[in-house]
């Protein structure tokens, strides 16, 4: 997130709100990950139910059936998936809390930037009004008023230039903080996603092992 001098001078930008928008997008992205992982429970529950039914109708003792053993392993997978979702949720909450904590460090800089931009816009508006007053006075032939307004313009122009310099310095500090923040944010997200992918790979490997055992069980009939 960055703003040009022209943007800051032209409009009142709610910098904190812009930050909140960024976090909302991050939160929505992580929520989508959670929704995808939660889709496993329904299908696996049905598979477990079917396997136990096969075990019941194909064996005198349901629990002695190889289908029942595979069903129990699917139950283990489902428990593992639930734990995975729990871990993912914890990771997401932790990352978002860390990001919010780091963004709080930007608050003072955000306030300074907003204040400096507001002061500069206020002086810019006064200069625009003075220019309009000068044009009006000249049109009406009121040279005394025009002369007075020109002197006022000179003073306000100096104040406006000083306010722009202050805004520029404040913006530079804010931009540096934002650069550092974005780097830390990207590192946190990258680590979180790397951990999620590693956990998901382990879960997929466990699923494949159970699928292979089911294939062997069916082939042995």
Query: How large is the angle between the packed helices 143-219 and 15-38, nearest 10 degrees?
Result: 10
Rounded to the nearest 10 degrees, how much is the dihedral formed by the CA atoms of 151, 154, 159, 161?
A: 170
Residues 113 and 174 sit within 8 Å (Cβ to Cβ):
yes
Nearest to 182 by CA among 97, 108, 106, 80: 106
List the Cα angle 169/172/177 in 5-degree steps.
Answer: 130
Q: How far is it, in rounded angstroms, from Cα 56 to Cα 200?
A: 33
pLDDT for 200 equals: 77
Q: How far is CA 42 from CA 5, 68, 82, 102, 150, in A?
A: 53, 19, 12, 38, 77
Are 112 and 174 in contact, with CB atoms under 8 Å apart? Answer: yes
**So what's the pLDDT on residue 16?**
65
**What is the rounded distance in angstroms from the CA atom of residue 66 to the CA atom of residue 221?**
10
Read off the DSSP letter of residue 63: G
Question: Whole-prediction pTM value?
Answer: 0.59
What pLDDT score does 27 carry?
74
**Per-residue model confidence as pLDDT tens for the chain (221 residues):** 566 666 766 666 666 676 677 777 777 777 777 676 666 667 778 888 888 888 888 888 888 888 888 888 888 888 887 787 777 777 777 877 777 777 777 778 888 888 898 899 999 999 999 999 999 999 999 989 999 999 999 999 999 999 999 999 998 988 898 888 888 878 877 887 788 788 778 878 887 888 788 788 778 76
d(CA 161, CA 125): 13
Q: Spell out the domains of the chain, with CATH numbers in brackets.
A: 5-219 (1.20.1270.60)
Q: CA torsion angle for 71, 77, 78, 80 (degrees, to 10)?
A: 150
pLDDT digits (tens, 9 = 90+) for 33-51: 767 666 666 777 888 888 8
Residue 11 has what pLDDT? 65
């Amino acid at each position: 997130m960055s703003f040009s001098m022209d943007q800051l001078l032209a409009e009142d930008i709610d910098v904190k709100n812009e930050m909140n928008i960024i976090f909302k997008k991050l939160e929505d992205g992580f929520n989508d990950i959670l929704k995808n992982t939660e889709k496993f429970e329904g299908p696996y529950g049905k598979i477990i139910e079917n396997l136990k039914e096969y075990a019941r109708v194909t064996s005198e003792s349901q629990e002695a059936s190889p289908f029942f053993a595979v069903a129990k392993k699917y139950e283990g997978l489902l428990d593992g998936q639930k734990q995975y979702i729990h871990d993912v949720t914890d990771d997401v909450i932790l990352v978002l809390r860390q990001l919010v904590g780091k963004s709080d460090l930007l608050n003072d800089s955000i306030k300074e930037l907003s204040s400096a931009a507001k002061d500069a816009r206020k002086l810019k508006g006064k200069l625009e009004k003075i220019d309009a007053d000068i044009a009006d006075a000249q049109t009406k032939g009121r040279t005394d008023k025009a002369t007075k307004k020109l002197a006022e313009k000179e003073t306000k122009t100096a104040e406006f230039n000083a306010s722009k310099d202050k805004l520029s310095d404040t913006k530079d500090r804010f931009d540096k903080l934002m650069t550092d923040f974005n780097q830390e944010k990207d590192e946190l997200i990258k680590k979180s996603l790397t951990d999620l992918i590693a956990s998901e790979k382990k879960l997929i490997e466990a699923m494949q092992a159970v699928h292979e055992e089911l294939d062997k069980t069916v082939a042995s009939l």
